[in-house]
Amino acid sequence: MIVPKMMTSQLTAHASSPMQLSLLEANGQSAANNGSAAFNDPAFAGNKKLPVHRWVPWIAGFSSDFVRDVLERYANGNSTVLDPFSGVGTTLVESVLFGCNTCGFEINPYAALASRVKSHSHQINATLLDDYIERFKSFYAESARADYLPQSHPPKGFNTRSPFYSPKVLHKVLIFLDYLALIQAADIRDLFRLAFASTMVSYSNYSYEPSLGRRTSAGKSELLDGLVGEVIARKLTEFSEDIRWFQAHKPQKETEIKIVEASFFEYEKYLAAGSIDLIITSPPYLNNYHYNRNTRPHLYWLDFVEQPGDFKNLEYANFGKYWQTVREQTRLELDFCLPDSDLPQKLELLRAQKPEKGIYGGNGWANYAAAYFNDCYKFVSGIQYALKPGGSALVVIGNSILQGILIPTDQYLGAIAQRVGLELVRIDIPRATRVGNSIIQSDVRTVKAKKSHQLYEAIVELRKV
């Protein structure tokens, strides 16, 4: 195991107790803003221009530069790297490029598809892909006329408040799906599916603001027509270029790549105890961002779901649940004890906010927070199980503001990790200011955040003793 470099902007487990750290946050102070951060900024935006990483737009995640930085500090060519929340595969792709064996868990079928296709894409025959792209262009050019009758149909269970696609755009989308049905090679077909899914919102009447909503609600006009085939073909050409880049930069050694389409809480079913050298991950934040609802079009159009009831399992398997799934319960308690922490008191303070608002008051949000931290306990228990002795976990997580109350999620996560026997090495804050609208600008809030309260992003470093 490579020894990590010293970090200048950090909180060590020995310097302050979780209670002391929470008091710092309560006073509106960034817990680690008194120096320069040692890690690269994990913000995902930089991935938009990088080979393979640029394939799928994603609202959350972390940068490939951050993952590469961690790999260079903590891994070697024989390491096995795990991402319990693999999203669209940033950790997996970088681990393959670094020559490591890698495993990712992901419950969202669309994100799991992206992780699988991207991390295995170096195995694709790029010349064959180019041939399929040219065939698609010809098929599309011949079929994109008004009298062509597509054989494909929109997903029956997919309903939106206004038409997702205009009639002209829908006709073109169905032409693409007709061609997709002709592709026999499974790996090429998955590339075409991903090219469609990664572009499908761009020619729809919806957009991300950052949650998925109607363009008209964001002051944008509806799209009466669009260059559907051209956009998909351009994306596929990008795939082809990046596959060749991946093949040229990947080490010659064979690596094992495993994508588990299941909750990480099933870790004992899929992982041997003490089999992981390094964990690089970012669990969902305590901000109620609804990954499943925001990928609803993708899940329907890729045939992962057929009706609204199919989402129920995803809703309850999600890390931290959602406010909507727990708000009506009378009271959710923590499943663990955390001595010397103010987390229970923070939950009570939250629970007491605006009880007259019913499910929109503090009790529902306290239930949401309690469910989130209960899942944090399960999460770090899984880290303790999976890591080899001496192995490290780097967890990117942001703090939160619920009903005007600052929640230092990173500090509580570190304290919970100590509770299960992990060492809290440090908490580093490479981004002392981040923008977040899911809770603090939400119509369901009952109390505004204080001006002194600031959202930041932290890296919690844990080690198995």
* Residue 251: both structure tokens together: 């080490």
* Residue 28: both structure tokens together: 């509106």
Please answer whether residues 432 and 456 qualify as being in contact, where contact means their C-beta atoms are separated by less than 8 angstroms: yes
> What is the rounded CA–CA span in Å between residue 360 and residue 407?
18
Neighbours of 390 (CB within 10 A): 10
- Ranges of each domain in the chain: 10-109+256-301+321-464, 126-247
In the block, tokens 């901000």 appear at 287
H helices of 267-359, in order, are: 267-270, 291-294, 296-301, 312-317, 323-326, 343-351
- Give backbone dihedrals phi and psi of 390, rounded to 5 degrees, phi first: 90, -10
Please answer whether residues 125 and 243 qualify as being in contact, where contact means their C-beta atoms are separated by less than 8 angstroms: no
Q: Is the peptide bond before 283 cis (omega within 30 degrees of 0)?
A: no
pLDDT of residue 9: 38
The number of angstroms, rounded, from the C-alpha of 276 to the middle of its chain's C-alpha atoms is 21
| pTM, to two decimals | 0.88
pLDDT of residue 307: 92
> What is the rounded CA–CA span in Å between residue 244 and residue 452?
49
Q: What secondary structure does DSSP assign to 87-144, as a single string?
A: TTSHHHHHHHHHT-EEEEE---HHHHHHHHHHHHGGGS-HHHHHHHHHHHHHHHHHH-
pLDDT in tens, the chain (465 residues): 333 333 333 444 433 343 334 333 333 333 444 345 666 666 666 777 899 999 998 877 788 999 999 999 999 989 999 999 999 999 999 999 999 999 999 999 999 999 999 999 999 999 999 999 999 999 999 998 879 999 999 999 999 999 999 999 999 999 999 999 999 999 999 999 999 999 999 999 999 988 899 999 999 999 999 999 999 999 999 999 999 999 999 999 899 999 999 999 999 999 999 999 999 999 999 998 888 888 999 999 999 999 999 988 888 888 988 898 899 999 999 999 998 899 999 999 999 999 999 889 999 999 999 999 999 999 999 999 999 999 999 999 999 999 999 999 999 999 999 999 999 999 999 877 665 544 444 443 444 445 556 899 999 999 999
pLDDT of residue 291: 80
> What is the rounded CA–CA span in Å between residue 344 and residue 339?
10
* Residue 312: both structure tokens together: 């129920």
CATH superfamily of 10-109+256-301+321-464: Vaccinia Virus protein VP39 (3.40.50.150)
Count the helix, strand and coil residues of the chain and give each as a percent rounded to the nearest 5. Answer: 45, 15, 40
Q: In this predicted model, what pLDDT tens digit does every residue of 94-133 receive, in sequence order?
A: 999 999 999 999 999 999 999 999 999 999 999 999 999 9
pLDDT of residue 397: 95
* DSSP single-letter state for residue 160: -
Burial 130-162 (b: 16+ CB within 10 A, else e): eebbeebbebbeebbeeeeeeeeebbeebeeee
pLDDT of residue 41: 67
* 81, amino acid identity: V
pLDDT of residue 101: 97
